[in-house]
Each structure stands twice: as C-alpha cells, then as structure tokens.
Amino acid sequence: MRTVALILGLLAVLPGCALMSPTDPYRPVDLYGPSARRGAATSRPAAPSVNAVVDLSQAIEIALANNPEVAAVGWESQAAQAQRDAAFGAILPTVNVVGGYTRYLDDQRLVPATFNSEKGVFSDDIFSSDLVVTVPLFTGGRLISEIRAAELLQKAAEHRLARSRQELVFNVSSVFYSILAQRKVIESLEFSKKALQEHLKRIQDLIASQKAAKVDLLRTEVRLADLEQRLVQERNVLAIQERVLTNLLGLDHPEKPVEVVGDLVLAQAVIPGTDQALGQAFGGRSDYLAARAALEAQAKAVDAARAAHWPTVALQGAYGGRWAARPTDRLPGTESTEDVGRVGIVVDVPVFEGGRIEARIRQERATLAAAQERLRELELQVRLDVETALLNVNSSRERVLATEKAIEQAQESLRIEREKYDLGKGAIVDVLDAQSALLDSQTNYYRALADYDTAWAQLRLAVGGLN
C-alpha cells in the first residue's frame, strides 16, 4: 500500500514540474531549436545597411527586410507550413516506444498462458516496454481533407505575406512622395519669403524717397509674418513625415531621420481601363487569392468534420518485453523476463458522442458561410479600390496639368504687378495678392504631383501589380 500511495503522490506532483526550460517570449526565436541540424531562423532578418541618404528603391528594400509587420506575417506563413506538415504526417505510420511500471495488489502472471497448464512467473511488480506501430487504414476521408485544408491555408498565408509586402511598398511610396512634395512646398515658401524681404527693402527705399506709404510696409510685414508661421508649420509636417518613414523602415532609434532623394515627375504612362484593371485584380491580387484559398480550406474543414461519423480503421502491431521485479511464485524452467508481440486491426466506431460531431459540423458550416460572405465583401472592396484608384490617377493628372499652367500665369502676373507698383501705378495689395497666388500655385502643383505618383502606387496596390 505504501508503494501505491507513493506512485499516486508522484503522479499528482510531476505534471506541474514536467517543463524544465520555459520559453522566453521576448527572446529571438530559434525555429528548430538550439540543437537542431537544420539551422536557426531568427525572428528579425538582417536589414540592408542604411545610408544617410536613400532613394525610393532603397527605402523599399530596407522596409521589406526590416519592417516588423512583414516579419510577423512571414512567421505566420512558416506556422501555416508547419501545420501542413503536421497534417501530412497524420497519414504516415506512427512508431512509439511505450514503457511502464505497474504495482498490483495481488500477484499477476507475467505473461498470459499460451496453452493449458503452462508454467508461469507471478509478481506484484511488473515492468513493461513495447515498440508500437500504428498505420491508419480508413478515416472516412478526414485525414485527406485535413491535408488539403492545410495546403490551402498555407497558400492563403503565402498570399497574405505577398499582400503585406505590397501594402508596405505602397505605404513607403506614399510617405516618400509626400516628403518630396513637402520639401518643394518649403522651398516655395522660403523663396516667397526671400522675395518678400527683397520687396520690403524696395518699399523702405520708396518710403525714404516719399514714393510709398508706410501702410505698404506694414502690409508687407504682416504677409511676411504669415509666411514665417507657415514655414514653421510645414517644417513640422515634414519632420513628422520623416519619422513616419523611419517607423515604416523598421529602424530602431536612429540618430536622425533618414533623408530621401528623388524627383516628382508626371509619368507618361498608359492608364488601364476599368475592365482590364478589374480583371487583373481578381486574377492576381494577393488578398483576394488568400480569401479564396481560405474559403476552399474551410470547405475541406467541413468535410473533415463530417468524416467523424465514419468508423476509423487502423493496423496496429507491438513488440516488447515484460519483467517481474520480485517474482513471488517461480517454478524451475521459467524466466522472470518474457517477450510479447501482437498485430491486429483496430476499429473505432462512434456510437454516441453527446452531439459533439454534429455541433462541430454546424460550427464548420457556419464558418464556411461567414467566409463566403467575407469573400463577397472583398470582391466589392476590390472593385471599389480599383475604381477609386483609377479616378485618383485621372484627377491628379488633370490637376498637375492645370496647376502647371497656373504657375506660369501667376509668375507673369507677379512680374506685372511689381512693375506697376515700382512705377507708382499699382497698389501693394495687388503685389501681395499676386505673390500669394504664385505661392499657392506652386504648393498645389507639387502636392498634385505627389498625389499623382501616390495614385499610381495606389493603382498598383489595388490590382496587385501592373503588367
């Protein structure tokens, strides 16, 4: 009785002590373990070297290698691949070594008798060790459905990874173009400020020669102060944009924001038609392909749940030994060690499962219906994204062309108003208004250019990449 009590006590205590080295959630992940031969995969890939100045292609390269969200989706793809490998392994034979020790209240025969009046060894302490091989023969299609579902989920994870990379490229491009436009806006403000300062000196000279009123000087100083506060505001916007880009690049605590170089240009590209763009989107957009793969995987999950109604048949064989620790009844010619073996067919027929099988089927079917509705919602979203991107490309192109002409007209208007004022035939208000109109035209032009380049990036994202 003491031995039985000791065993029961150990069984009650050991489960809580089974894990010898808990996983540190904040330590970089070693995918195969520290002693595996396949090599370690850390959770953060090495990023390309970051120079002080980067262009758009370099910024995209750094972001794809270092952005934490893309890295996380990449690990989810690895998890889906491991899930597929686990599902495939379920159809293969399993080989286990099973050992045990049993303490009996009454003496037991070491191995069953194989004929009448066979001599045997009896003991109340028996050790056992078996090599057990199990081969699944029939599961009603459950294993095949689970394998196919896992393969489809792996494809969905790969498509989601591709979509995350595309979204990151768009986000980096959008912020990059915004930074270029913002710098042009600041340059325009600085040029306007310099021009107003020069005009202020001319007004002071005209006042000294009694050819201008002091109110002209005051109006110019007010407009100059307004430019000063606009410069402060626009520089702050630029600083925020640079930090947003740094965050997208996945850079930890850089000494200073990354400086970007590039030009905003009105590309002479052929804008695709709506039908062409939609056809390309539905045929190659990664998030749509991921949703379709997930939907098909869920259909296989329904099949796997339905297969639980069928019996499962497996071939099972075992070979091992039995040892009597302290034989209590042993006749001459007998051994305290015996080997045993068996092979047979195991059939498991579900008779009553408390409604769990039907509940699981309803669950999977409801999940399938939800996936169908989400796919339909995504189809509507794809259409909206494509049409919106095409409208943005066309409208921003027209804005660029319009504001480009407006700059020329504003420059000529400013020149005329300055000459009129210098000749005493114009008012300072007209000069200031012309200067403000030129600044607004330049600002609108550069922002329209940024919107145009961003709209093309948005169109590439909407269709999953342009051919």
* Tens of pLDDT, residues 408-432: 888 888 888 888 877 777 777 787 8
Region 271-293 average pLDDT: 93
Q: Compute the half-sphere exposure of residue 132: CA atoms within 13 Å on the CB side of its CA.
A: 11
What residues are paired with 306 via a beta bridge?
Answer: none
pLDDT tens-digit readout, 285-300: 999 999 999 999 999 9
Task: Grade residue 203 by pLDDT with cuts at 50, 70 and 90.
Answer: confident
Whether residues 131 and 255 fall in one domain: no
Whether residues 126 and 159 fall in one domain: no
Whether residues 330 and 372 fall in one domain: no
Q: 295, 324, 349 — which closes off a domain? A: 349
Judge whether residue 310 has pLDDT over 50.
yes
- Report in angstroms the alpha-carbon separations of 307 from 145, 196, 216, 347, 417: 9, 82, 89, 15, 86
pLDDT tens-digit readout, 20-67: 677 778 787 777 665 444 444 444 544 445 566 888 999 999 999 989
Whether residues 320 and 433 fall in one domain: no
| β-strands 121-138, 329-330 pairing | antiparallel
Show the tokens assigned to 111: 């191995």
What pLDDT, on the 0 to 100 scale, is given for residue 41? 46
Q: 349, 377, 408 — which closes off a domain? A: 349
Query: Count of domains in the chain?
Result: 2
What pLDDT, on the 0 to 100 scale, is given for residue 43? 47
Domain boundaries, position 180:
55-92+140-309+354-463
More confident residue, 19 or 227: 227
Show the tokens assigned to 295: 């939907």
- Report in angstroms the alpha-carbon separations of 223 from 201, 230, 237, 417: 14, 11, 21, 16
Cα separation, 75 vs 11, in Å, equals 37
**Domain annotation covers residue 198:** yes
Task: Grade residue 266 by pLDDT with cuts at 50, 70 and 90.
Answer: confident
Region 441-464 average pLDDT: 92
Q: Pick the range with the lowest mean pLDDT from 39-53, 75-89, 297-311.
A: 39-53
pLDDT tens-digit readout, 94-151: 999 999 999 988 888 888 888 887 888 888 899 999 999 999 999 999 999 999 999 9
The one-letter code for the residue type at 231 is L
What pLDDT, on the 0 to 100 scale, is given for residue 16? 53
Judge whether residue 329 has pLDDT over 80.
no
Cα separation, 254 vs 235, in Å, equals 19
Q: What angle do CA 373, 374, 380 make, to 5 degrees?
A: 95
**Domain annotation covers residue 39:** no
Whether residues 84 and 108 fall in one domain: no
Whether residues 200 and 344 fall in one domain: no
pLDDT tens-digit readout, 364-382: 999 999 999 999 999 999 9
Whether residues 160 and 287 fall in one domain: yes
Judge whether residue 166 has pLDDT over 90.
yes
The per-residue pLDDT of the chain, averaged, comes to: 86
Whether residues 316 and 456 fall in one domain: no
What pLDDT, on the 0 to 100 scale, is given for residue 45? 47
Whether residues 248 and 274 fall in one domain: yes
Judge whether residue 343 has pLDDT over 50.
yes
Confirm if 139 and 312 have CB atoms less than 8 A apart: yes
Whether residues 322 and 382 fall in one domain: no
**Domain annotation covers residue 324:** yes
Burial code of 11-50, b = ≥16 C-beta within 10 A, e = fewer? Answer: eeeeeeeeeeeeeeeeeeeeeeeeeeeeeeeeeeeebeee
**Domain annotation covers residue 17:** no
Q: Which residue has the tokens 């003491």?
A: 2
Cα separation, 324 vs 429, in Å, equals 112
pLDDT tens-digit readout, 253-263: 777 778 888 88
Whether residues 267 and 328 fall in one domain: no
Task: Grade residue 175 by pLDDT with cuts at 50, 70 and 90.
Answer: very high
What pLDDT, on the 0 to 100 scale, is given for residue 347? 94
**Domain annotation covers residue 81:** yes
Q: 349, 365, 398 — which closes off a domain? A: 349
Torsion angle in degrees (nearest 10) through CA of 305, 310, 311, 316: -50
User: Which among 348, 438, 440, 455 has a CA at the least distance from the CA of 392?
Assistant: 455
Cα separation, 369 vs 32, in Å, equals 37
What pLDDT, on the 0 to 100 scale, is given for residue 11? 53
Show the tokens assigned to 236: 């702050």
pLDDT winner (highest mean) among 5-14, 187-196, 207-216, 417-426: 187-196
**Domain annotation covers residue 24:** no
Q: Pick the range with the lowest mean pLDDT from 43-57, 178-192, 257-271, 341-355.
A: 43-57
Q: Could you tell me how far CA 461 lies from the centroid of its own chain?
A: 15
**Domain annotation covers residue 35:** no
CATH number of the domain at 451, please. Answer: 1.20.1600.10
What pLDDT, on the 0 to 100 scale, is given for residue 141? 93
Whether residues 327 and 449 fall in one domain: no
Region 187-206 average pLDDT: 83
Cα separation, 453 vs 459, in Å, equals 10
What pLDDT, on the 0 to 100 scale, is given for residue 155? 95
Q: Could you tell me how far CA 223 lies from the centroid of its own chain?
A: 48
**Domain annotation covers residue 379:** yes
Judge whether residue 357 has pLDDT over 60.
yes
What pLDDT, on the 0 to 100 scale, is given for residue 206? 76
